[in-house]
C-alpha cells in the first residue's frame, strides 16, 4: 500500500516539475452578476497563445506583449476583446449571449474541485438553485424529488416536522436497505437538516463510488455536493441585500376512507341503563336510556340513525353537556377535524458585498412552523456566511460558517396505535364528535381521573376511587387532546459548522490550500409525561412506558474536525490539460451522549426533573472517539478538450479497524469521456454535444468506533439492594472484520441538439455492494450467539434517462421541460451470510435459512422484510392466502382462507421513479412551474387497513355485498362477505358468505388484502411567479433592484395511486406504514426583493 501512495506522490511531483515561466497578466472572468465563469477561454488575438480559466474564473498568461489584445470567450456568453495596455491584473465581465443555455454546467466534487459537466466522465447530475427552489421547499431531500434520475425520495408526512425524508439512490445497497448518501456543503460534511435551501447555488449529485471516490469510505454510497451562494460583484458599490419572505399553509389532503354508518363499541344493540342505589343521583336523568359499548375501541356498534343514546361524556359532571342524552349521528369528518392547519413561515435575508479582492456574504434565515398535530411546532434560526479575502496577490483567506439553532415540540411517532392517526385509522369510534372531545379535553372526574371517550360501562361503577376509575378512567385511550397535552417531547439542537482556509498560490499553475473544518453539535431533548397518565385502566397502552408520570432527558455533544492540506495543479501543455488535486485529510470525531429517565413515577406530581424519580434513575452515557487519516490524489487528463480521463486514488487508515498492517482502506476510480461531436462540428452542426463516457470505482467502507472488538462483559446500571451486576457478552466480533465494499461501473451517452434545445442523457449503471459487516448467528448452545463478520452481496443494474427540451421559445413565451427516469433493471441479493440458501430477516435482523421456510413461522402481526438470496432486495414475506396452481384461494368449509406462512408478496422497490418539470415563461416576467413526479411498482403493507377493517373503522368493514345488503348483516339475513375460491380438499370451486367480522378478524392472519402497490403520479409542485417591474415603480427603483412574487402549491394533486388512503410517496417505513400521519396539501406565497 505504502508503495502505491509513494508512486502516486512521485508521479505528481514529476508532473509539477514541468513548468518554468514568468507571469505577466492575471485576471478573473465573471458573468454580469459577478459570478465566476469557470473554464473560460483566453487567447491573445492573432496568436496561438492562450489559457483556460480555472474553476474560479481565474487565469494567468505569461510573456504577453504590452498592448496585446485578449479575446475572452465561453459558451453561453458573448466573447469580449480587451486591450491589455499596461495592465497586469484584469477583471473581465462577459455579457450573456442570446444562447445562455449553452453555458457550461459546473460539477463540484470533493476538496474544492470543480469540473465541466460537458467533459466529465462520471455519472453526475447538477441541479441549479432555480430548479431546486421551485416552491422554496426548506427540505433539500424533498426539494430534489423527481428532479434527479435514479433517486427515490422516501418522504414522510409533512406533519412530521423534524423529518427530512430519505433518499434511496439506485435501490438498496445493504441487506437492511439503503444506506446514506454523503451530504457535503461547501466542503463540510453535513446532514440534510443543516442545509438552508434558500442559500444553495447548486447541487451536484455524484451517483455512486465511481463519482465520489475522492471522499474515500464516506463516498461509497455517492455524494450530494452542495455549493452555497457567494457574494457577487455589481450594483450599489458591491453591496447586495436580498430578502425572501414566505408563508405556507398546509391542510390534510389524504386520509383513509372511513365508514360512517356504524357507531363505536363491540356490540350492535345498545344496553339500557337502570339507575341503582349507590350511583350518583344525577344519573337518574339517564335512567331507562340506552348506551353503547364505550370500552372496546372498535366500531362494530349500532347503526347511526339519529336515535337517542347516552354519549360517553354524559356520565361526567362539571360541564354543560353532563347527564344529557344526544342523537346518535355520524361525524364523517371527526378524524379530519382533529388535524389543525399547519402554518409555516420562512424568511431569509442576505447581505453581501464583493470587490476584486474580497467577497463576503451573511445570510440569516428563520423558520417557524405551527404543526398539524396538536402541540407540535418547530422554530429554527440559521446564520450562514462566507467570506474570502485576498491578503496578497498570492495568499487568500476564506471562511464558511453555518450556525443553526432549532427547537421543536411534538411526538412525531406515527407507528401502530399512536395517539392520533393510530387511533383514528385503527382503533376508534366513528360516532365521536371531535369538537366535543376538544371542548372536554381538561375534564376530570370528581376524584381527578381523566375523562375519556374510551371508558368502561356503568356496570363497573362503584362509589369508591377504584370503582370510579374502573368506569370513568380512560380504558385504552385518553382524550386525543389531553394525550398530547400530557406527553410533551421537546428537541433542541444547535450546530456550528464551518471551516477556515488559507490558499497560497505558488505559481500560476499551482496552489496549496490548508483547511480546518469543524462541526460542533449540541443537542438535548426532553420528554415530559404528566402524572395524570396514572389513571389508565390499561397502563400498558400509555405512552412511552412512563405510566405514572415521567421525565427523560438526553444530551448529546459531538465535535468533528478535519485538517486538510491540498495542492491543486493545473497546466496546459500544448494539447494536453492536466489537473491534479492531491493532499491529505485528517479526521477526528469525538462524541458524548448522556441520557437519564425517571422510573416508577414522580414523588412530587409533575415536577420534571430526574431528581424527582420515585425509582432508580435509569441513565446511559456513551462516548466515542474515532480517527481517520486519508491521502488522496484526483487527476484529470484532457486532450484537446474532447478526450478526457479522470483517475482518483485515496488511501485511508482508520482507528476503527483491527490494528495491524492492513488497517487501510484503498479507494479508487477511473473514468473516460470522449466528446465525439467536437470532431463532427462541420458535418453535423446541429449536434451541439455528443459524448460517450464510462467510469468505474471501488470504495470500501469503514466501521463504527468500538464495533471491533466489541465488549466481552457488560455492567448493569441498576443495583439489587446494593449488589451490582455484570454479564458476559455472547455476541462476538471477527478479528478480521472490515467494512463493506461498494463498486460501480457505468457507461453513458450525453447528446444535445440545436444549441441545447434538446438534451438527452442515458446512463447504464451496475453496482455491487458486498462484504457487509453481518451478524451471523451460531447455535446458542455454543455459548456464542452471533459473530460479526463480513458477508453478503447485492447487485444493482439500472438505466437513468434525463431529457431536457425547450419545445417553444418565442418572444413572449418559452417552455422548458426537464424530465428524468431511473429504471431499476434488477437489484438482486446475491449472498446474505456466506452460506448457500440464506435469507436476511428484517424483523429479527438476522440471517436465516432460505425459503421455503419449512420451519419458519413468520410474524402474525405483519409481513417481514427480507433479503432473500437470488431475489430482488426487499421482499415482503408472511402469512398469506394459500392458493392452488391457478391462483385461486383455498377455502376451509366455513369459508375462511387456508393460510400459507410463506407467501412471497414481492419487492418493496419500485421498478422506476422519475419526474417531469415544466417551466413556462410568459411575457418574460411571468414564470409558471409545474413539477410532476412518479413511481411505478413496488409494494407496501398497511397496518392501518389491516386493523382499521378488523376494528370496523374503515370502509372495508361496512360495504354492501352482491345481494345489496350490508356485509355486517347476518349471513342468514343475506349479509356477509362473498368469498370465492376452491375447496381446500376437493379443489373444486366453492363460494361462501362469511360473516364480516369473522372474515375481517380472521384475515388478521393473512396479509394479502393489506398489501398495496406503491405506484403513483403526483403533481408535487406548482409555482406561479411574477417579476415585479421595479423599474416602472418610480422612486422605488432607486432602492429595489429586483422583486419577485410567487404563489406556490405542494402536493397539489395525487393524480394517480392504486391505493388512495395513504400517500404512497410518504410511506413511513421501508416495509409499509403503521398508522402514518395524513398527507398534506399546502399553498404558499413568497416575496423576494433584492436591494
Site residues (CB under 8 A) for another protein, limited to 412-451: none
- The sign one gets for the Cα dihedral 898, 903, 909, 915 is negative
State which residue, 117 or 591, has the beta carbon closest to another protein. 591
Q: Which of 253, 364, 389, 653 binds another protein (CB under 8 A)?
A: 653
Would you count residue 846 as binding another protein (CB under 8 A)?
Answer: yes
State which residue, 628 or 1021, has the beta carbon closest to another protein. 628
Would you count residue 847 as binding another protein (CB under 8 A)?
Answer: yes
Residue 817's DSSP bridge partners are: 805, 918
Would you count residue 5 as binding another protein (CB under 8 A)?
Answer: yes
The least CB distance from residue 19 to another protein, in Å, is: 9
Q: Which of 86, 98, 392, 779 binds another protein (CB under 8 A)?
A: 779
State which residue, 20 or 885, has the beta carbon closest to another protein. 20
Residue 519's DSSP bridge partners are: 497, 560
Binding mask 688-707 vs another protein (x if CB under 8 A, - otherwise)?
A: -----------------xx-
Would you count residue 716 as binding another protein (CB under 8 A)?
Answer: yes
The least CB distance from residue 267 to another protein, in Å, is: 10
The least CB distance from residue 623 to another protein, in Å, is: 6
Would you count residue 663 as binding another protein (CB under 8 A)?
Answer: yes
Q: Which of 624, 861, 905, 920 binds another protein (CB under 8 A)?
A: 624
Among positions 260-279, residues that touch another protein (CB under 8 A) are: none
Would you count residue 584 as binding another protein (CB under 8 A)?
Answer: yes
Contact between residue 353 and residue 368 where contact means Cβ atoms under 8 Å apart: no
Rounded distance, CA 674 to CA 788, Å? 45
Among positions 593-612, residues that touch another protein (CB under 8 A) are: 599-600
Q: Which of 117, 567, 984, 1024 binds another protein (CB under 8 A)?
A: 567
The least CB distance from residue 578 to another protein, in Å, is: 15
The least CB distance from residue 582 to another protein, in Å, is: 8
Q: Which of 357, 395, 625, 754 binds another protein (CB under 8 A)?
A: 625
Show the CA angle centred on residue 1034, arms to residues 1030 and 1039, nearest 5°: 60
Q: Which stretch binds another protein (CB under 8 A): 237-245, 421-429, 578-586, 668-676?
A: 578-586
Is 249 exposed, middle or buried (CB count within 10 Å of its CB: 0-12, 13-18, 19+)? middle
Q: Which of 856, 922, 928, 979 binds another protein (CB under 8 A)?
A: 856
Residue 761's DSSP bridge partners are: 750, 802
The least CB distance from residue 846 to another protein, in Å, is: 5
Contact between residue 216 and residue 667 where contact means Cβ atoms under 8 Å apart: yes
Would you count residue 1006 as binding another protein (CB under 8 A)?
Answer: no
State which residue, 278 or 807, has the beta carbon closest to another protein. 278
Copy the grid coordinates of residue 441.
379535553
Q: Which of 98, 781, 886, 1035 binds another protein (CB under 8 A)?
A: 781
The least CB distance from residue 435 to another protein, in Å, is: 31
DSSP letter at 119 equals T
Would you count residue 651 as binding another protein (CB under 8 A)?
Answer: yes
State which residue, 66 or 719, has the beta carbon closest to another protein. 719
Would you count residue 629 as binding another protein (CB under 8 A)?
Answer: yes
Among positions 285-304, residues that touch another protein (CB under 8 A) are: none
Q: Which of 152, 408, 582, 701 binds another protein (CB under 8 A)?
A: 582
- The sign one gets for the Cα dihedral 419, 164, 564, 654 is positive
Among positions 1013-1052, residues that touch another protein (CB under 8 A) are: none
Would you count residue 849 as binding another protein (CB under 8 A)?
Answer: yes
Among positions 491-520, residues that touch another protein (CB under 8 A) are: 506-507, 510, 512
Q: Which residues contact 444 (CB under 8 A, 6 or more apart)?
A: 318, 450, 451
Would you count residue 659 as binding another protein (CB under 8 A)?
Answer: yes
Would you count residue 544 as binding another protein (CB under 8 A)?
Answer: no
Would you count residue 857 as binding another protein (CB under 8 A)?
Answer: yes
Contact between residue 299 and residue 951 where contact means Cβ atoms under 8 Å apart: yes
Q: Which of 17, 810, 885, 972 binds another protein (CB under 8 A)?
A: 17
Q: CB neighbours (10 Å) of residue 80? A: 16
Copy the grid coordinates of residue 705.
468506533
Q: CB neighbours (10 Å) of residue 724? A: 10
Would you count residue 15 as binding another protein (CB under 8 A)?
Answer: no
In the numeric block, the cell 464558511 is attached to 400
Q: Which stretch binds another protein (CB under 8 A): 170-178, 276-284, 338-346, 780-788?
A: 780-788
State which residue, 248 or 901, has the beta carbon closest to another protein. 901
Q: Which of 778, 984, 1019, 1083 binds another protein (CB under 8 A)?
A: 778
State which residue, 670 or 708, has the beta carbon closest to another protein. 708
Q: What are phi and psi of 461, to 5 degrees?
A: -80, 140
Contact between residue 877 and residue 904 where contact means Cβ atoms under 8 Å apart: yes
Would you count residue 235 as binding another protein (CB under 8 A)?
Answer: no
Task: Quote the longest CA-to-CA distance of the chain.
Answer: 115
Length of the chain: 1091
Pairing of strands 1079-1090, 182-185: unpaired
Q: CB neighbours (10 Å) of residue 506? A: 12
The least CB distance from residue 601 to another protein, in Å, is: 12
Residue 183's DSSP bridge partners are: 190, 224
Would you count residue 841 as binding another protein (CB under 8 A)?
Answer: yes
Residue 808 Rama label (left phi>0; alpha psi -120 to 50; beta): beta
Q: Which of 83, 89, 604, 711 binds another protein (CB under 8 A)?
A: 711
Q: Which residues contact 47 (CB under 8 A, 6 or more apart)?
A: none
Q: Which of 277, 392, 723, 986 binds another protein (CB under 8 A)?
A: 723
Q: Which stretch binds another protein (CB under 8 A): 122-130, 233-241, 735-743, 775-783?
A: 775-783
Q: What are phi and psi of 438, to 5 degrees?
A: -65, -40
Would you count residue 615 as binding another protein (CB under 8 A)?
Answer: yes
In the numeric block, the cell 360501562 is attached to 457
Would you count residue 885 as binding another protein (CB under 8 A)?
Answer: no
Among positions 725-744, residues that touch another protein (CB under 8 A) are: 725-728, 730
Percent of the chain that is helix, strand, coil (3-state, to 5): 15, 45, 40
Count of chain residues binding another protein (CB under 8 A): 86
State which residue, 303 or 627, has the beta carbon closest to another protein. 627
The least CB distance from residue 575 to another protein, in Å, is: 25
Q: CB neighbours (10 Å) of residue 847? A: 25
Rounded distance, CA 339 to CA 85, Å? 71
Contact between residue 823 and residue 912 where contact means Cβ atoms under 8 Å apart: yes
550 sits in which H/E element: strand 550-573
Rg, Å, the chain Cα set: 33
Copy the grid coordinates of residue 922.
410568459
Q: Which stretch binds another protein (CB under 8 A): 87-95, 159-167, 455-463, 556-564?
A: 455-463
Would you count residue 623 as binding another protein (CB under 8 A)?
Answer: yes
Rounded distance, CA 82 to CA 71, Å? 7
Would you count residue 466 as binding another protein (CB under 8 A)?
Answer: no
50-52, strands of its sheet edge to edge:
50-52, 41-44, 69-73, 80-83
Would you count residue 631 as binding another protein (CB under 8 A)?
Answer: yes
The least CB distance from residue 781 to another protein, in Å, is: 4
Q: Which stretch binds another protein (CB under 8 A): 233-241, 242-250, 479-487, 622-630?
A: 622-630
Q: CB neighbours (10 Å) of residue 707? A: 15
Q: Which residues contact 11 (CB under 8 A, 6 or more apart)?
A: none
Contact between residue 654 and residue 626 where contact means Cβ atoms under 8 Å apart: yes
Give the E-state strand segments of 311-357 in sequence order: 326-327, 342-354
Amino acid at each position: 500500500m505504502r508503495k502505491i501512495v509513494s508512486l502516486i506522490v512521485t508521479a505528481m511531483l514529476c508532473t509539477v516539475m514541468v513548468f518554468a515561466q514568468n507571469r505577466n497578466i492575471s485576471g478573473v472572468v465573471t458573468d454580469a452578476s459577478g459570478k465566476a465563469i469557470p473554464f473560460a477561454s483566453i487567447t491573445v488575438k492573432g496568436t496561438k497563445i492562450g489559457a483556460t480559466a480555472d474553476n474560479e474564473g481565474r487565469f494567468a498568461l505569461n510573456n504577453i506583449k504590452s498592448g496585446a489584445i485578449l479575446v475572452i470567450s465561453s459558451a453561453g456568453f458573448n466573447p469580449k476583446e480587451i486591450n491589455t495596455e499596461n495592465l497586469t491584473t484584469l477583471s473581465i465581465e462577459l455579457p450573456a449571449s442570446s444562447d445562455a443555455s449553452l453555458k457550461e454546467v459546473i460539477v463540484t466534487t470533493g476538496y474544492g474541485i470543480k469540473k465541466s459537466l460537458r467533459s466529465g466522465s462520471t455519472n453526475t447530475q447538477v441541479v441549479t438553485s432555480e430548479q431546486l427552489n421551485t416552491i422554496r421547499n426548506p427540505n433539500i431531500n424533498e426539494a430534489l424529488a423527481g428532479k434527479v434520475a435514479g433517486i427515490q425520495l422516501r418522504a414522510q408526512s409533512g406533519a412530521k416536522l423534524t423529518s427530512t425524508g430519505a433518499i434511496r439512490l439506485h435501490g438498496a445497497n445493504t441487506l437492511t436497505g439503503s444506506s446514506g448518501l454523503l451530504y457535503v456543503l461547501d466542503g463540510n460534511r453535513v446532514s440534510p437538516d443543516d442545509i438552508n435551501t434558500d442559500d444553495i447555488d447548486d447541487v451536484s449529485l455524484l451517483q455512486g463510488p465511481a463519482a465520489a471516490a475522492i471522499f474515500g469510505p464516506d463516498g461509497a454510497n455517492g455524494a450530494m455536493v452542495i455549493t452555497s451562494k457567494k457574494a457577487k460583484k455589481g450594483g450599489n458599490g458591491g453591496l447586495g441585500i436580498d430578502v425572501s419572505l414566505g408563508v405556507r399553509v398546509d391542510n390534510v389532503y389524504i386520509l383513509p376512507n372511513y365508514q360512517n354508518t356504524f357507531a363505536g363499541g363491540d356490540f350492535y344493540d345498545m344496553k339500557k341503563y337502570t339507575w341503582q342505589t349507590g350511583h350518583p343521583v344525577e344519573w337518574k336523568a339517564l335512567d331507562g336510556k340506552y348506551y353503547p359499548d364505550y370500552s372496546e375501541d372498535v366500531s362494530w356498534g349500532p347503526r347511526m340513525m339519529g336515535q337517542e343514546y347516552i354519549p360517553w361524556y354524559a356520565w361526567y359532571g362539571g360541564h354543560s353537556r353532563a347527564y344529557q342524552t344526544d342523537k346518535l349521528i355520524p361525524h364523517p369528518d371527526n378524524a379530519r377535524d382533529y388535524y389543525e392547519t399547519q402554518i409555516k413561515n420562512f424568511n431569509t435575508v442576505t447581505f453581501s458585498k464583493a470587490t476584486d479582492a474580497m467577497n463576503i456574504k451573511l445570510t440569516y434565515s428563520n423558520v417557524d412552523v405551527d404543526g398539524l398535530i396538536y402541540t407540535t411546532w418547530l422554530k429554527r434560526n440559521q446564520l450562514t456566511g462566507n467570506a474570502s479575502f485576498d491578503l496578497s496577490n498570492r495568499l487568500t483567506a476564506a471562511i464558511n460558517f453555518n450556525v443553526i439553532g432549532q427547537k421543536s415540540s411534538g411526538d412525531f411517532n406515527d407507528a401502530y396505535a399512536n395517539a392520533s392517526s393510530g387511533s383514528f385509522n385503527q382503533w376508534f369510534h366513528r360516532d365521536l364528535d371531535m369538537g366535543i372531545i376538544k371542548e372536554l379535553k381538561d375534564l376530570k372526574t370528581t376524584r381527578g381521573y381523566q375523562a375519556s371517550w374510551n371508558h368502561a360501562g356503568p356496570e363497573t361503577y362503584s362509589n369508591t376511587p377504584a370503582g370510579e376509575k374502573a368506569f370513568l378512567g380512560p380504558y385504552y385511550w385518553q382524550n386525543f387532546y389531553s394525550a398530547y397535552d400530557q406527553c410533551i417531547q421537546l428537541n433542541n439542537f444547535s450546530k456550528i459548522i464551518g471551516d477556515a482556509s488559507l490558499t497560497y498560490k505558488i505559481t500560476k499553475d499551482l496552489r496549496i490550500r490548508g483547511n480546518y473544518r469543524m462541526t460542533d453539535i449540541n443537542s438535548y431533548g426532553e420528554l415530559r409525561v404528566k402524572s395524570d397518565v396514572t389513571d389508565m385502566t390499561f397502563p400498558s397502552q400509555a405512552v412511552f412506558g412512563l405510566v405514572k408520570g415521567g421525565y427523560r432527558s438526553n444530551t448529546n455533544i459531538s465535535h468533528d474536525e478535519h485538517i486538510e492540506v491540498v495542492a491543486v495543479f493545473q497546466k496546459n501543455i500544448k494539447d494536453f490539460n492536466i489537473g491534479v488535486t492531491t493532499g491529505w485529510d485528517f479526521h477526528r470525531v469525538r462524541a458524548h451522549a448522556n441520557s437519564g429517565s425517571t422510573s416508577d413515577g414522580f414523588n412530587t406530581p409533575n415536577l420534571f426533573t430526574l431528581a424527582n424519580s420515585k425509582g432508580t434513575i435509569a441513565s446511559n452515557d456513551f462516548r466515542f472517539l474515532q480517527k481517520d487519516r486519508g491521502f488522496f490524489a484526483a487527476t484529470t487528463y484532457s486532450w484537446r478538450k474532447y478526450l478526457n480521463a479522470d483517475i482518483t486514488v485515496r488511501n485511508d487508515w482508520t482507528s476503527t479497524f483491527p490494528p495491524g498492517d492492513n488497517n487501510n482502506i484503498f479507494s479508487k476510480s477511473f473514468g473516460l469521456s470522449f466528446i465525439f461531436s467536437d470532431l463532427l462540428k462541420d458535418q453535423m452542426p446541429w449536434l451541439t454535444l455528443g459524448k460517450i463516457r464510462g467510469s468505474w470505482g471501488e470504495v470500501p467502507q469503514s466501521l463504527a468506533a468500538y464495533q471491533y472488538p466489541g465488549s466481552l462483559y457488560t455492567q448493569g446500571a441498576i443495583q439489587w439492594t446494593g449488589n451490582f451486576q455484570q454479564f458476559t457478552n455472547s455476541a462476538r466480533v471477527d478479528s478480521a472484520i472490515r467494512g463493506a465494499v461498494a463498486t460501480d461501473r457505468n457507461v453513458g451517452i450525453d447528446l444535445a441538439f440545436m444549441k441545447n434545445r434538446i438534451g438527452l442523457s442515458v446512463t447504464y449503471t451496475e453496482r455491487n455492494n458486498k462484504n457487509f459487516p453481518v451478524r451471523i448467528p451460531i447455535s446458542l448452545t455454543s455459548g456464542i450467539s452471533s459473530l460479526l463478520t463480513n458477508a453478503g452481496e447485492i447487485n444493482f443494474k439500472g438505466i437513468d434517462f434525463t431529457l431536457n427540451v425547450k419545445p417553444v421559445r418565442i418572444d413572449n413565451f418559452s417552455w422548458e421541460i426537464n424530465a428524468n427516469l431511473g429504471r431499476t433493471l434488477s437489484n438482486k441479493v446475491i449472498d446474505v451470510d456466506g452460506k448457500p440458501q440464506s435469507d436476511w430477516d428484517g424483523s429479527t435482523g438476522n440471517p436465516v435459512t432460505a425459503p421455503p421456510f419449512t420451519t419458519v413461522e413468520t410474524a402474525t402481526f405483519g409481513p417481514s422484510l427480507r433479503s432473500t438470496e437470488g431475489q430482488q432486495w426487499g421482499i415482503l414475506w408472511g402469512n398469506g392466502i394459500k392458493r392452488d396452481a391457478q391462483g385461486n384461494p383455498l377455502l376451509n368449509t366455513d369459508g375462511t382462507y387456508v393460510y400459507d406462512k410463506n407467501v412471497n408478496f414481492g419487492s418493496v422497490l419500485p421498478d422506476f421513479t422519475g419526474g417531469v418539470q415544466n417551466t413556462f415563461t410568459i411575457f418574460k416576467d411571468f414564470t409558471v412551474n409545474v413539477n410532476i413526479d412518479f413511481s411505478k411498482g413496488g409494494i407496501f403493507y398497511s397496518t392501518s387497513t389491516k386493523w382499521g377493517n378488523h376494528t370496523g373503522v374503515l370502509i372495508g368493514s361496512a360495504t354492501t355485498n352482491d345481494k345489496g345488503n350490508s356485509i355486517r348483516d347476518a349471513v342468514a339475513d343475506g349479509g356477509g362477505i362473498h368469498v370465492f375460491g376452491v375447496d381446500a380438499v376437493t379443489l373444486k370451486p366453492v363460494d361462501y358468505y362469511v360473516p364480516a367480522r369473522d372474515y375481517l378478524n380472521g384475515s388478521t392472519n393473512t396479509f394479502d388484502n393489506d398489501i398495496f402497490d406503491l405506484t403513483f403520479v403526483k403533481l408535487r409542485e406548482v409555482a406561479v411567479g411574477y417579476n415585479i417591474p421595479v423599474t416602472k415603480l418610480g422612486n422605488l427603483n432607486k432602492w429595489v433592484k429586483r422583486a419577485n412574487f410567487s404563489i406556490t402549491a405542494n402536493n397539489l394533486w395525487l393524480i394517480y395511486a392504486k391505493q388512495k388512503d395513504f400517500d404512497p410517496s410518504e410511506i413511513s417505513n421501508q416495509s409499509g406504514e403503521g398508522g402514518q400521519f395524513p398527507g398534506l396539501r399546502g399553498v404558499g406565497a413568497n416575496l423576494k426583493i433584492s436591494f
